Structure 1
Amino acid sequence: MASLNREELLQRIDRVIDKMKNLSPEEIVETCPIGIISMDNWEWPQGVGLFSLFLYYRETGEEAVLAYLEDWFDRRLQEGVPPLNVNTICPLLTLTYLNELRPKESYRGLLERGAAFVMKEMPRTEEGGLQHIVSGGLNEGQLWDDTLYMTVLFLTRYGVLTNDPACVDESVRQFLVHLKYLTDPATGLFFHGWTFQEGHHFAKALWGRGNAWYTAGLVDYLDMIEPPPGVSLFLCGSLERQAKALRPLQAPSGRWHTLLDDPSSYEETSATAAFAYGLLKAIRCGYLSRDFEPMAWRAFHGVLDQIDPDGTVRGVSYGTGMGRTLQAYKDIPLCPMPYGQSMALLMLVEGLKHDLAEVRL
């Protein structure tokens, strides 16, 4: 494995960002009607991309990045924001940060509307879980592991900004309810979903990217709030158990399979990047011990190997709904996607915070 170099990481970051901004559904077959390839749409892939860009801005102070974010939101607001649901809430996380730096009445109004929707209108499952309602699907009685990243992070951040303890308390409940029903007690990994109506975990898929939403999301969640100590211990304990389970499942390439426990399923880059980001940040922040560093840096290198010279991140699975069979996950096509670019960006930016000269594999 090649040694890491800060200047090279910065160059790769520039290429990854440029490709993310310019992905086109004309290059890639777009089969999802909501539009999850172009950054010109308002959905969850774009939301993940915006947040990664903001974290890059916060690390480097590059004003051009902030200007891009402001222009993106202004254009989308002129076009009209689509109906709110779990996934269309996702861009609002970045808007909470942008509104602090470039406050606008239109931003504030949308943030208020988003928080009110989550707290008062979004459908709930039993025990008050956020039902995974998406564009074109109610998913009645269903919990999905995507929800914590797509909606709960925004609600948390909004609650902190507005000093609204109800929002913060609700975020704690959502983490606990989702972990209660999605954790596989045998492994400590997470099932993709749970249905209260049918009482099962669908295909019992230990889906890679779904697991990575927790790894990447938790470290940012703990950046936003300090939950009660007992809750923090519980959440970090779940992260540690997940990390221990990931260790023997890591492929020689450093990547993980799209079905974590099925080596016949393809290796998937977006999940690997989010795992690398979450693990490295958790180690840096003291949530995990340095025993996990070799695994995290192997994943880091595994993702680097999938970044083309033009910044295209390869080996990323297309949008993945809830699978009723394990084969359904293995059949999802691979193609460049905004969230593949952005998860790689999250990982690369986190890499800048570490002493690269001390990396040992």
Structure 2
Amino acid sequence: MDKAAVSALIDKVANKMQHLGNETGLQEECPISIIAMDTWEWAQGVGLYGLYTYYRETGEARVLDFLVDWYDHNLCKGLPEKNVNTLCPMLTLSYLAEETGREDFRSLCAEWAQWVMEAMPRTTESGLQHIVSGNVNKGQLWDDTLFMTVLFLARAGKMFGREDYLAESVRQFLVHIKYLADRKTGLWYHGWSFEGRHHFAEALWARGNCWYTAGVVDYLNIVDDLDPGVKLFLLDALQAQVAALEKLQHEGGMWHTLLDDADSYVEASATAGFAYGILKAVRRGYLDACYLSMGRRAAQAVIAQISEDGTVQQVSYGTGMGETLEAYRTIELCPMTYGQALTILMLTEVRRIS
């Protein structure tokens, strides 16, 4: 696809996300809707980040207006309790604070970053406990946390000149790699319990894995002066993960929702996250160019899942910690903001290399 065609596709996917609702009528499990675009949760946070990336790529003023209006609307409604997932919208807000010069945006970022440092529950070894709306998940590390919370903490460190915030973001990446990266495969388990000292169902869940693939390349953008030894360590983890993904890519270009289970369905949001991280890592010299074809195949597979109205199909609903592998196989498919957003991120990289 040429740049113009990719831009038109990004516009279509972004427009659909801005108006996304629960058209399927799926019964939600989360206390706060993660389908509709107008609520404040992690799914919408990923969506906002995708839209902001689209704005930075195109300069479309109407997208910036939508973002600012979204935050103003939710601030007027009142924000939910702070947790790993409700922190996700703060990442985009940190960029908007600088973009608009809004002091109220900046103050809110300062307040929520301080909460992470001083009040957010911790696990053994000071990991950020994966507390979410409705569940405290005592003693649990989940791979989602890096994207949902730690990217914002790093941004706050840069915004406010707080070296302690940046150091904490480094520690969180290292402790999550320590307990979630599987030494045998290079892939990531969904979660770890310090309470029971186990990986729950030992699920090598695709979207959970993609939060590292997509998140680490953006983390290195945020913390551009990272200690060289730490940077190499994070990239070694990425290299190991991508090498394992190469062996498991479905012939159609996507990945199964359980990466090592060919009987589980292929899933588009994870594939988009993998494609984004791989393509960006190759472009920035973090991964060898031999992985470019894998990223392109994945991108083409996701593009094939975009319907005429811009809806990204074959996306699984929000996924809590599964006690069995069967729990992952039976998660329902439903258009989601993060499916749209990860596809937008992916398409921005496709556009850059077109």
- Give the AA of the match of 1:20: M
Q: Does 1:234 align with 2:233?
A: yes
Structure 1 gap ranges (5+): 357-361
Partner SS for 2:35 = coil
The Cα of 1:244 is off from its aligned counterpart by: 0.3
- Give the AA of the match of 1:7: A
Question: Which residue pairs with 1:6 in the alignment?
Answer: 3
2:138 to 137, 140, 143: 140
Deviations 1:8-53 (A, max 9, x none): 2111111111111112124331413310011100000000010111
Q: TM-score, normalised by structure 1?
A: 0.96
Question: Which residue pairs with 1:166 in the alignment?
Answer: 164
2:58 to 57, 60, 66: 60
Partner SS for 2:141 = strand
The Cα of 1:277 is off from its aligned counterpart by: 0.3
Q: Distance in 2 between matches of 1:301 and 1:24?
A: 26
Q: Distance in 1 between matches of 2:55 and 2:134?
A: 33
Partner SS for 1:143 = strand
Q: Distance in 2 between matches of 1:163 and 1:240?
A: 31
Q: Distance in 2 between matches of 1:320 and 1:117?
A: 25
Q: Distance in 2 between matches of 1:105 and 1:10?
A: 33
Q: Distance in 1 between matches of 2:189 and 2:286?
A: 23
1:186 to 169, 172, 184: 184
Q: Does 1:255 align with 2:249?
A: no
Q: Is the 8 A contact 2:142 2:192 kept in 1?
A: yes
Question: Which residue pairs with 1:24 in the alignment?
Answer: 21
Question: Which residue pairs with 1:359 in the alignment?
Answer: none
Q: TM-score, normalised by structure 2?
A: 0.98
Q: Is the 8 A contact 1:30 1:37 kept in 2?
A: no
1:209 to 207, 210, 224: 207
Q: Distance in 1 between matches of 2:330 and 2:112?
A: 34
Partner SS for 1:23 = coil
Q: Distance in 2 between matches of 1:219 and 1:136?
A: 30
When the two structures are aligned, how many residues end up with a matched partner? 352
Question: Which residue pairs with 2:318 in the alignment?
Answer: 319
Structure 2 gap ranges (5+): none
Q: CA RMSD in A?
A: 0.8
The Cα of 1:7 is off from its aligned counterpart by: 1.6
Partner SS for 2:333 = coil
- Give the AA of the match of 1:298: R
Q: Distance in 1 between matches of 2:206 and 2:288?
A: 22
Partner SS for 1:243 = helix
Q: Does 1:265 align with 2:251?
A: no
- Give the AA of the match of 2:61: E
Partner SS for 1:194 = strand
Q: Does 1:35 align with 2:44?
A: no
Q: Is the 8 A contact 1:44 1:89 kept in 2?
A: yes
- Give the AA of the match of 1:12: L
Partner SS for 1:84 = coil
| Structure 1 consecutive aligned stretches of length 4 or more whose deviation exceeds 4 Å | none
1:46 to 44, 47, 53: 44
